[in-house]
């Protein structure tokens, strides 16, 4: 099975360090044959790397040169925030279309303050989480639903976050997997959060014949290409369909 890492942040992201070339070198060392650069959009002023004329084109040129040198394929993509429950992304469609892979998942809640007072997180939080996830899956420009559980516990006060993943309603897990399948979207096995995903995600994945993506979500060079934990899940759950990009 080909080793892929389709979620990598470079120094273009305000919270990440590695250069584009360091990423290539590390992927090669880890035996990854296909990667994807997926820097954050949006970014605070001073870190905006996208959107000016030709930014994505320039990146692709740089990539072409590095691909020739290292002999591995790396897509020029982005991890773009979703800004409402209908799956609108924080970038005009014309610019989004320039990317070779677009990943998006829940980072923030467009309509919720969090954590909610008086335990209301429990009632409204999961519904909002689900609504944002469905929006992402319904957007035709999105390729991969990133880290499907990552932001869920952040709905709750810190003291409750450790237990919170267990409160992710089963019906929302099922609907996320069902709609991902219906929309032809891959769901990400994210090395950084795979511990949050219980058997139910994989059972629904099998039931709906889902396609999965794999990503380290590396922000530091040492984690680029570190996706073994994802492939352990592939083996454990007998996953056959990995994204082909």
Residues 60-119 that bind Zn ion (CB under 5 A): 79
**Cβ 82 vs Cβ 102: under 8 Å:** no
Of 14 and 206, nearer to Zn ion (C-beta) is: 14
**How far, in Å, CA of 41 to CA of 6, rounded?**
16
CB of 230 to Zn ion, least distance (A): 14
**Cβ 208 vs Cβ 235: under 8 Å:** no
Angle at Cα 226 formed by Cα 40 and Cα 196, nearest 5°? 75
CB of 152 to Zn ion, least distance (A): 13
Of 79 and 128, nearer to Zn ion (C-beta) is: 79
CB of 204 to Zn ion, least distance (A): 22
**How far, in Å, CA of 62 to CA of 159, rounded?**
45
**Cβ 215 vs Cβ 188: under 8 Å:** yes
Angle at Cα 127 formed by Cα 110 and Cα 39, nearest 5°? 45
Site string for Zn ion, 134-163 (x = CB under 5 A): ------------------------------
Site string for Zn ion, 163-202 (x = CB under 5 A): ----------------------------------------
CB of 53 to Zn ion, least distance (A): 26
Of 47 and 206, nearer to Zn ion (C-beta) is: 47
Of 79 and 98, nearer to Zn ion (C-beta) is: 79
Chain center to CA of 72: 21
Kindly give, in sequence order, each residue whose CB lies less than 8 Å from that of residue 86, ignoring residues fewer than 6 positions away.
Answer: 135, 138
DSSP-based three-state secondary structure for 124: helix
CB of 88 to Zn ion, least distance (A): 17
Of 5 and 217, nearer to Zn ion (C-beta) is: 217
CB of 22 to Zn ion, least distance (A): 17
Of 8, 26, 217, 243, the one binding Zn ion (CB under 5 A) is: 217
DSSP conformation letters of 87-153:
--BSS-HHHHTTSSEEEE--SS-TT--SSPGGGTHHHHHHHHHHHHHHHHHH-TT--EE--TTTTGG
**Cβ 75 vs Cβ 24: under 8 Å:** no
Q: Binding residues for Zn ion, how many (CB under 5 A)?
A: 2
Of 54 and 195, nearer to Zn ion (C-beta) is: 195
CB of 76 to Zn ion, least distance (A): 15
Does position 5 interact with Zn ion (CB under 5 A)? The reply is no
DSSP-based three-state secondary structure for 81: coil
Binding footprint of Zn ion on the chain (CB under 5 A) = 79, 217
């Amino acid at each position: 099975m080909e080793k892929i890492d389709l979620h990598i942040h470079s120094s273009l992201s305000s919270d990440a360090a590695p250069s584009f070339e360091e990423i290539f070198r590390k992927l090669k060392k880890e035996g990854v044959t296909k990667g994807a650069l997926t820097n954050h959009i949006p970014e605070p002023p001073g870190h905006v790397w996208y959107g000016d004329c030709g930014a994505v084109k320039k990146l692709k040129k740089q990539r072409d040169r590095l691909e020739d040198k290292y002999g591995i394929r790396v897509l020029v993509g982005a991890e773009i925030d979703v800004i409402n429950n209908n799956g609108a992304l924080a970038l005009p469609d014309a610019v989004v279309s320039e990317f070779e892979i677009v990943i998006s998942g829940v980072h923030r809640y467009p309509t919720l303050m969090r954590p909610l007072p008086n335990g209301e997180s429990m009632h409204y939080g999961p519904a909002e989480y689900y609504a944002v996830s469905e929006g992402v899956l319904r957007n035709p420009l999105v390729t991969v639903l990133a880290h499907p559980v990552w932001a869920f516990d952040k709905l709750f006060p810190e003291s409750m976050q450790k237990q919170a993943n267990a409160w992710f309603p089963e019906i929302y897990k099922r609907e996320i997997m069902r709609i991902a399948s219906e929309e032809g979207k891959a769901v990400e096995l994210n090395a950084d959060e795979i511990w949050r995903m219980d058997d139910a995600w994989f059972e629904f994945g099998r039931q709906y014949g889902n396609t999965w993506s794999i990503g380290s979500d590396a922000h530091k060079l040492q984690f680029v290409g570190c996706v073994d934990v994802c492939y352990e899940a592939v083996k454990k759950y007998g996953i056959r369909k990995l994204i082909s990009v």
